Amino acid sequence: MWSKFLEDLNGIAIQSVREKTDWDFQVYSDVAGAGGFGLYLQGHWCAEEWPRAWKEGGRSIAFLEFFPLLVQLVLWVDSFADTKVNFRVDNMTVIEVVNRQSASDPTY
């Protein structure tokens, strides 16, 4: 996943920030367990159900929380160019994966 991300989004940096910063955008995402996910960015939103195979296959909650971040990048990448974006996520595993830019689980 990281190879694809770096290949397609060359020049976009993800950095770990622990203190309040002047963000150009704050992007919100959340999942509803077996239901699906929702995204929000400055009046724009997206919501979708999980694919049937994901519902039946028992994907981990960390995977399900991570997936909307990728959807946000696909949907709104042009808006993020040369900006500071704060991805609002409520899952510590996902936050750690993004901040470290690596994961021990090859799923990410």
Query: Dihedral through CA 45, CA 15, CA 94, CA 20, nearest 10?
Result: -70
Do the beta carbons of residue 106 and residue 23 sit within 8 Å? no
Q: Is 107 contained in some domain?
A: no
Query: Number of structural domains, the chain?
Result: 1
Q: Is 3 contained in some domain?
A: no
Buried b or exposed e, range 26-63, using 16+ CB within 10 angstroms: ebbbebeeeebbebbbeeeeeeeebeeeeeeeebeebb
Q: Give the pLDDT confidence of 47-89 residue by residue, as tens digits.
A: 999 988 888 777 888 888 889 988 998 998 888 888 888 888 8
Q: Is 40 contained in some domain?
A: yes
Q: Does pTM surpass 0.75?
A: no
Q: Give the pLDDT confidence of 91-101 residue by residue, as tens digits.
A: 888 888 888 88
Mean pLDDT (the chain, rounded): 80
Q: Is 68 contained in some domain?
A: yes
